Chains A and B, each alone.
Chain A
Amino acid sequence: MRVAIAEDGALFREGLVLLLEAAGHEVVGCVADGDALMKIVATEPVDVAVLDIRMPPEPDGGLTTAERVRSLRPETGLLLLSHYAETHYLMRVLEIGAERIGYRLKERIAGVQVLADTLDRIAAGEIVIEPVLAKRLVQAPADSPLAALSERELDVLRLMAEGRTNNAIAKELFVSPKAVEKHSAAIFGKLALPGDQTVHHRRVLAVLAYLRAQKIDG
């Protein structure tokens, strides 16, 4: 995979280059700010651009640059990294796009398997959401409608909120994809969720919008 990096922390940037190259990816550019990344994206084919959210142009140059990359090269995948798992950042990321995009904590991509899985999913068109954030959104007070879900349905909902497909959820929970479909239909029914749950990114968006509303507004 051809990857470009924009990150203002020199140590992290260099470490990421080494990790990507060790995992067999080609790093086509490695820069410290959004404007420099735009020059690379404009001239080189890039499969996935990796951007630090808090970098120049301040304050959130990663987000504004990701918008520009998506507008110039819609086919380029985007992986936004941050030290913080913030719902606000997640919503900004989803405004940029609901396909070929991801948002993860910086230290969580240190494992080569996790990094490979994240990049592969983004390149395949999926949304990848930081599991820490998905888990926090699924935790709800006892009087929330989420309390009507079984333990297994909550597991499925959390994995849906991470952007996982039915097959990936089935693999993670050691059940069949058919069983996941059944749980998914039950979740959508119990929570009266709108949207077409068979279209992957629409399902993720519906789930995240619902969870955020529950969490924030109660």
Chain B
Amino acid sequence: MGGVVRGSSRSGTWLRAPDRDVARMRCDLERILHDGAAADMSALALELGLISMAADDPHTEARISAALATLSRAIDDLRGLGSTLYPPVLVSAGLAPALRSVAERRDLRLRLELPRHELGVEARSRTGLLVADHLRTLRPGSAVRVRVRGRRFLFVHITDLQPGWRVPRHHRAVLRCA
């Protein structure tokens, strides 16, 4: 996983972005989960729905309904795992929607300052994973500012203030873009 603390100084902690191979592997794993296990389990849910239609006694119907609820919870778990591996809209929609999605689920107040130019696929992927992994370490209600600058080298500066804390923390990372 990315977001590993590499060191600290008076100016804050340094985070390490996942390298290109790790980012690609995480993207592939999410896709395998989505197209494999998740797809099969959703199909199984439909099958249970069909069986439920044919059921002619309340006891069987109740058991199918309970099985569907269990399956839904398992799919939810899989969904959580998939989006932790790789935010699902990072490839298609980009950095801002992907990070907002993580913040929304964790009840964070997020302010983004991103480059106006579009980031390359690799830079977007590595930066997205670095910041998303960090956001997941914060407590609900935290206020976070994420600033990304640069072209050949991307400078990432994350400032977070967790509930009950008086002093914000600073985290930085530098990524070399291909």
Contact = CB atoms under 8 A, between A and B. Distances in A.
Contacts of B45: 106-107, 110
A9 interface: yes
Contacts of A107: 41-42, 45, 71-72, 75
A216 B101 CA distance: 8
A88 B100 contact: yes
Given A54-B34, A59-B91, A83-B38, A216 B49 contact: no
A89 interface: yes
B101 A88 contact: yes
A16 to B, nearest CB: 6
Interface string B14-51: 00000000000000000000110011111101111110
A89 B104 CA distance: 14
A136 B109 contact: no
A12 B49 CA distance: 12
Contacts of A54: 34
A212 to B, nearest CB: 9
A9 to B, nearest CB: 4
Interface residues of B, number: 41
Pairs A-B, 5 closest by C-beta atoms: A15-B46, A218-B109, A11-B43, A110-B45, A110-B49
Residues of A contacting B: mostly:
helix
A177 B88 CA distance: 39
14 contacts: A15-B46, A16-B46, A19-B49, A19-B53, A22-B50, A83-B34, A84-B79, A87-B101, A88-B101, A107-B42, A136-B105, A216-B103, A217-B110, A218-B143
A216 B99 CA distance: 10
Nearest to A84: B88
Nearest to B42: A106
B100 A216 contact: yes
B156 to A, nearest CB: 20
Residue picked from B92, B107, B143, most chain A C-beta under 10 Å: B92
